[in-house]
Structure 1
Amino acid sequence: MAVGVTSLALILLPPWRLGHFLGFLVCAGLLAYAYYLQYVEGIEPCPLCIIQRVAVAAMGLVFLIATFHNPGRIGATVYALLLVIIGAAGASVAARQVWLQSLPKDQVPACGMSLDYMLQTLPFAETLKKVLEGSGECAEKGWVFMHLSIAGWTLVFFIAMIAASLALTRRD
């Protein structure tokens, strides 16, 4: 029975190119909403949020390139691999932020330097290390919907996009 349900789900998927274009649109929509929250609602992104935005943009770019390229089986596998790697990196950063947000107030790391300042003054590897450690601003939940913060929803997004990219690879 499980094989039948899986086959039915694969049959209902849109054609390969349309699926990747929809992936691009989802990424673009997510970025548009992130910028809306920043510039209209005044919610400033923390350094971990910015890294997640870069991962969403990178996934969107790969989805868009895959849409126009329309490769064969090997190329489709390469695109899926790229999407899984980017998605896993984004998911790990989002999971780190969700973990920071779950810490008791007394265990939250102190706020550090801004990302702009770190990029201007520190080597890139050290900046990346400090950003991934997280800071107090990354532990703020801010906006919450259905008990999930923005980082929680972003984690759900990355997992869904990884699953979608793998499902699209299975299409012939």
Structure 2
Amino acid sequence: MTTRSYFLAGFLAAAGALAFAYYLQYAQGLDPCPLCIFQRIAMAGVGLFCLIGFAHGPGVGGRRIYSALAALSAVLGAAIAARHVWLMHLPADQVPACGPGLDYLVDVMPLAEVLSTVLRGDASCAEVKGAFLGISLPAWTGIYFLMLAFGALAGIFGRFTRGRA
């Protein structure tokens, strides 16, 4: 496999996941909670680093750097998804109260405080809005992030040729 085709596959996987998320939002009416939006940002990070790797077509050192950045984005996304799943499984009396929307938080708080507030979660994040085969969408997203992370690890430790895709 060439370096470019490897990064193209990673980009298409991330872009496909984001396209599905937007399909669920705009065609199916599943509005994302703040943690869902953060997961989308992490998925966009995976896609961006893979797209840059595809465009650059780097040698071994560059491939490892882009793969490590994609892996970091995927691991962060998996951690956010795990937090989301944890909130969904809290007893009702332990779920944090609903807070203001993400747009409002960004307008009135410093970025570090926005991150802290969103990662604490609230009742909108604890609600199961969609599931497939009895598994919530954030759990599926976490699984997908882990698959992307393992794929990125292949980019760090694997052997590739430096040809065209």
Q: TM-score range by the shorter chain?
A: over 0.9
Is residue 2:7 matched to residue 1:25? no
Counterpart position of 1:71: 58
Deviations 1:87-113 (A, max 9, x none): 111111110001001111121111101
Counterpart position of 2:146: 159
1:142 counterpart SS class: coil
CA distance in 1, matches of 2:67, 2:139: 23
Is residue 2:112 matched to residue 1:136? no
Q: TM-score, normalised by structure 2?
A: 0.92
Q: Once structures 1 and 2 are overlaid, which stretch shifts more, 14-23 or 81-90?
A: 14-23
Q: TM-score, normalised by structure 1?
A: 0.89
Paired residue for 1:84, among 71, 81, 86?
Answer: 71
Paired residue for 1:171, among 141, 159, 162?
Answer: 159
CA distance in 1, matches of 2:9, 2:33: 28
Counterpart position of 1:126: 113
Q: CA deviation at 1:147?
A: 2.2
Question: 4+ residue stretches of structure 1 with deviation over 6 A?
Answer: none
Counterpart position of 2:163: none
Q: CA deviation at 1:154?
A: 0.8
Counterpart position of 1:49: 36
Cα pair 2:3 2:58 within 8 Å, conserved? no
Letter in 2 for 1:171: R
Letter in 2 for 1:144: A
Query: Among the aligned pairs, what percent are the same residue?
Result: 46
Count of residue pairs the alignment pairs up: 159
Gaps of 5+ in 2: 161-165
Question: Looking at both structures, which has the greater relative contact order when contacts are Cα pairs under 8 Å and sequence separation is at least 6?
Answer: 2
Q: CA deviation at 1:15?
A: 2.6
Gaps of 5+ in 1: 1-13
Counterpart position of 1:4: none
Counterpart position of 2:84: 97
Letter in 2 for 1:26: A
2:29 counterpart SS class: coil
Cα pair 2:84 2:126 within 8 Å, conserved? yes
Q: CA deviation at 1:142?
A: 1.3
